[in-house]
């Protein structure tokens, strides 16, 4: 019984911390590169996603150290008061 409770608790915690894929839409993605005389070197990979609430998120993952991830959030731009 305790094992089942622990499993349900860990499942609930995992789902609460992991955003669902359906709440974001991939808009664009690309790489930051460094151009050198010997060729291009990819520095990081980025993805721009629109969130279900209208805001945007950029996730930038380093290619040198995949555990280094930067996340940037942007509010939805509104044209209020502009004629």
pLDDT tens column, 18-64: 455 569 999 999 999 999 999 999 999 999 999 998 889 999 999 98
What's the predicted TM-score (pTM) here? 0.59
Cα 9 from chain centroid (whole Å)? 25
Whether residue 41 contacts residue 33, with contact meaning beta carbons closer than 8 Å, is answered with: yes
Asked if the model's pLDDT at residue 15 lies above 80, the reply is no
Asked if the model's pLDDT at residue 77 lies above 80, the reply is no
Predicted pLDDT of residue 65:
87
Predicted pLDDT of residue 67:
86
Handedness of CA 78, 81, 82, 83 (dihedral sign): positive
In sequence order, the 6+-apart residues with CB closer than 8 A to the CB of 56 are 27, 48, 49, 50, 73, 74, 76
Show me where the domains of the chain are located.
Answer: 24-77
């Amino acid at each position: 019984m305790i094992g089942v409770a622990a499993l349900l608790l860990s499942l609930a915690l995992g789902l609460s911390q992991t955003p669902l894929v359906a709440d974001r839409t991939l808009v664009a993605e690309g790489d930051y590169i460094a151009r050198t005389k010997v060729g291009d070197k990819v520095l990081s990979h980025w993805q721009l996603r629109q969130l279900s609430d209208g805001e945007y998120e950029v996730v930038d993952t380093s290619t040198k150290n995949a555990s280094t991830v930067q996340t940037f959030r942007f509010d939805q731009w509104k044209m209020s008061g502009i004629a």
